[in-house]
Every structure is written in structure tokens, then in C-alpha cells.
Structure 1
């Protein structure tokens, strides 16, 4: 496949006169420059590079993904779309985009990170410019925290030096050792550059279950008051989330200067999912698997999920996290 693509590229270059010019008997220097240019063109055609061919924001695509694939998250959808679109449309941002996503498991935090990557990078989450860190895998031992801090700083500096439009995702922030994330504070500031490197075009996303209890309690209070969950606004939740994670020793953002210095642009709440949202997840998963989207099967899958509180059974315990495996069971 690659050989065919190289042949086609060479054909295009010949048609454009690039290779012909390279072989004109002017000087060997021109000959060398011509070959070097062709080599770079071929390499950039076949390999991901930090340029518009591989990095290009698709605002329409992000909006379509959020509307078609993310359910029950009207607040998160609105914030993500507006913040990412505004940031990517700014040729000279004053600081990196920093988003902190909070909510119970299965509500869509990782899914949204993937959507953002898919609509910025041609290779999506597989892009060499998208970097995922997890607490248990990359930073497991408290005794090594000083080493982790130095490594994390070097990883971020090296990758942003390689590509200014890099994206960093920190999963399991609630399991992150307190103080570790403060080591990257300088890169999230308003500095034009640090040691010759600008971090202003990078994106940092933190994913955490911390704050999930306060989000769920607010959603439950709305339900008990007979109010529609779509009436919930960011102002009803953001302050409570930031205070919760700042004062929670298990949040990874405990007493962090990132919050003190207002470096997190948005604390994004992900609401607990109701029965109808789980059924929607099942329908979407069937379509993704090229299966017949059967509402009866979606209802059956949703009915087998555990819900809480025990008496009212309003919210899914695991969100939509086990939907894919349950559908595999139904279709095998």
C-alpha cells in the first residue's frame, strides 16, 4: 500500500516539474536540494507531522459527534464545543486550554477526550501528538514522586517542543499523588515562552471521578424538586466541584496551585445517566457495531443495569460503561 502511495506521489511531483528541476544539469548543489525536497515531501506524505495536513480542527465534526454520541450531558457538550472551538480558532491564545472533567464512571469523560482528539488530529487518539497519562501506570509509587515530577516536566517540554499543538490527557486524577500535577503549573501559565518554548497552543485535559458525589446530589435534588435536569447550569455545579477537588486529599488536585491561580479554564460536570440515556447509548453502540438498532434490545439492556438510589433507581451506577459487553452477550 505504501509503495503505491509513493508511486502516486512521485507521479504528482513529476507532473509538477519538481523532479525534472532536480535533475537539471546546473549544479550538484541544486541536485542535492531537489532530492532532499522530494525526500521530505515523501516522508511528510507517509508519516504524521506537525502541520495542517495532520492537524486541522473540524468544529462541525465535533458538534456532530457531541450531538449524536454523547447523551445526557447538555452542560458538558456546550462547554466542550465552545471552549475547544474558541481556543482552536485563536491564532494567538494567551495560555494553553485547560479542562478538568468530573463525574462518575461511564458518563463520557474519556469519550469526550477522544472526540476532541478525533476532530483535531487526523490520527485521533493514535496521534503521536496526543499523550495519555494514567496515575496507576505512569505514577504508581509515592516514594518516586520527585522523579515523576522531573519526568513529567521533560515529557511535556519535549513533546511541545516537537509540536506546539500537542494534547495531554491525565486520566484517574482522583488517584494521582497530591502535589504531582503542580509540577506542570509553569506550562499552564500565561508565559509567552519558557526556555524558548511556547506552551500556549497545547491542550491539557484532566479526568476525575472526584466531585461526582456533589454533581449527583445536585442532580438528585433537581429531580426531587420536580425540575428537569436540562435546567441545570454550569453555575449550579462549577463552584462546588472546584471546592470539592481542592479540599479532597484523594482528588489529585488537592490544594493545587492550578486552582489557586485560576489556571483551569473550566471544571466540566458530567451528570449521572438515567435509564433513557443508557438506552440511547445501547442504540448508538448497535449502530457503531453495524447491528440492527433495535429499541427493544436497547430497553432490555438498559433494564439490566443497576441504578441508584436503591428506592428511586434514577441513575445508572456505571453509566454506559458496560453497554458494549452486554450487547456482545445479546448478539452471541
Structure 2
């Protein structure tokens, strides 16, 4: 996409260059000026910028994507849809939107983040205004904590200064060094401006496996009681999840002031997936390969069936969720 835009600008320059040779020097100077201005205009039009041409919230699109693509996550879909819609439709929010997504691997946390980005930014996750931090890549060494804190503050301040509607995604929060995330606490608070910069239109999303055990326990309790997973509500898990994350040294949010000061707007639980949800994930993968329905259904069933489930005897919930489907489906063809 970006390469195509650059190619178009170059094409315009070549056309102008081929034309100006046919005119006298004065006309040539005028033509070159027109060509340069035209090229700048095209570049500015095609190059992503922090305005409504490139950043426009699609409320209906997000709601539909969460409903039809985020399998088995009725609770997360509802919370995320309401939270993002409420925030994006507020002209002057009082603070940034802060979401903390929790659950075992393969349940859809990264995918949900991508759906949010796709329905806000024209470029989706490829947008220059969407920034992803991974603990093991960006903050690997505990001895460099002070350096990381300074860098993180500078990165966020610089990017929000460039575009107030920036999105920051922190993956692998459960692997983040305790105390690091507190360095950005002022940016998540209710301040109108800090050093001349307003952070109120930014979005911060934390992704973590921490708290997964509490969520799984809740899902198991409902299953053992013969109740549908769709009956699980936020009140059934929110308090226990928050306490678990706050008191877990490996959560990345251990004893953090973000929780203590109620700066996280929603702790979003991602439930463990059942066979039918893993099958849906596999079917989506098969459809992307343009398989016919019969073959896709057969392979999706094999992939979903062969994954490990727990409790061991009943095989109710997938251990890995949809995590390994992309890498395994070819084995069955």
C-alpha cells in the first residue's frame, strides 16, 4: 500500500520531468514548481496522517467483527464494544481509554486488539499511530529498568504529541518487570495536559496471561453447575480477577498504582475456548485458503479434535485455544 503511494508520486515527477523539457527556461521553472506542488499534494493525500481521512471510528464494524470473528468471547466482545464505542464517541474524554485483557494463550486477546485497530485506523495494525510493545523484545533486562522507564515515557510522549489519537498495545504484560508500567501512570490519569501534551484521546491496551486461572475456575464452576458459559457476566469474575492481577508478581501490574488509583477502565476476561469455538477458528482458517466446504469442515474437525483439552477426562476446554491452528492445518491436508 505504502509502496504504491510512493510509486504514484514518482510517476507524477517523471511525467512532469518529461513535459518541462519542451518549454523555455521561464516556463520550465513554473512547470517544475507546479509539479513539485502537485507531488506534495498527492503525497500528503496518500501518506497516512492524523486526521479524519485516516482515523475514523467504525462503531458498527467493530460490533460486527467482535460478534462474528471473536469466537467464544461473548463477555469480552460486549465489554470491548461498549468501552471503545463510549470512548470514541466522546468529544472530550476525561482520560485515556485503558483496557487490560486477560486470559490463557490462544483465547483471542491479540486478535481483539487488532479488531479495535482495524475499526479506528484506516491502516489497522499497520498504522504508524498503533504502537506495540513486547516485554521480552523491548524490555528484556531487569538491570536496565531506569533506562526503560525513561525511554517508554519519551516514546509515548513523542507519539502522542505527533497524534493525540495514538494506540499503545503492551503484549506479554505477565513477563514485564514489576514497576515498569507505573512509569507511565501520569499519562493514564485525568490530567488535562502534561508539559503541554494531552493524553486524553489515546488508547492503552494491556495483554496478559495473568489472571487466567481465575477466569478458568469461573468457567469450570459454571460448567460443573450445568450453566451455559453465556451466563457468565463481568460481576462473576471482575473482583477476583483484579485482586489476582494486583497481587501477582508476574502480572506486570503487581501492586501498581494504575489499579490502586482505578486508572484501568476495564479488566476484560477472555474465557477458555471449547471444541466448538476452536472448530470455528479452524473453519475461518480453512476459508482463507479457499477450500471447498466439505474439505474445510473435515480438516477443521480433525485439527480441533486433536488439540489437548481439560479436564482430561471430559475434554471441555482447549489448553491452547486457537493458538496453533495456523501452523497445524497443513498437516491434515
1:88 is aligned to 2:107? no
Aligned twin of 2:19: none
Q: How does 1:5-84 map to 2 (within 5 A)?
A: 5-6=8-9, 38=38, 40-84=40-84
Q: For 1:281-305, what per-residue CA distance to the aligned partner results, in whole angstroms no more than 9, with x for missing partners?
A: 1111112232224323221111100
Secondary structure of 2:329's counterpart equals helix
Per-residue CA deviations over 1:199-251 (Å, capped at 9, x if unaligned) read: 00000000000000000001001000001110000010111111001000111
Q: Please state how far the C-alpha of 1:37 moved relative to its aligned partner.
A: 6.3
Residue 3 (structure 1) shift: 7.2
For residues 246 and 7 of structure 2, what CA distance do their matches in structure 1 show? 55
The alpha-carbon deviation at position 65 of structure 1 amounts to: 1.3
- Equivalent residue, structure 1, for 2:119: 119
> For residues 174 and 258 of structure 1, what CA distance do their matches in structure 2 show?
15
Match of 1:151, SS? helix
Equivalent residue runs for 1:1-332 within 5 Å: 1-2=4-5, 5-6=8-9, 38=38, 40-293=40-293, 294-331=296-333
Q: 2:147 is paired with a residue of what secondary structure?
A: helix
CA distance in 2: counterparts of 1:99 and 1:109, whole angstroms: 11
Alpha-carbon distance in 2 for matches of 1:222, 1:309: 14
CA deviation map 1:231-288 (0-9, x unaligned): 0000101111110010001111000000000000000000000011111111111122
Instruction: Tell me if the contact between 2:100 and 2:206 (Cα under 8 Å) persists in the aligned partners.
Output: yes
TM-score, normalised by the number of residues in structure 1: 0.89
RMSD over aligned Cα atoms: 2.2
For 1:140 and 1:72, the matched residues in 2 are separated by 33
User: Cα offset for 1:40?
Assistant: 4.3
Structure-2 separation of matches of 1:96 and 1:103: 23
In 1: Cα distance, 2:171 partner to 2:65 partner: 21
Structure 2-normalised TM-score? Answer: 0.89
Aligned to 1:251, the other structure's residue is in SS state: coil
The alignment partner of 1:184 has SS state of helix
Counterpart Cα distance in 2 of 1:66 and 1:228: 20
How many residues matched? 313
Question: Is the 2:62–2:81 contact (alpha carbons within 8 Å) kept by the matching residues of 1?
Answer: yes
Structure 1 distance, partners of 2:290, 2:61, is 20
Structure 2: 5+ residue runs without aligned partners?
Answer: 14-25
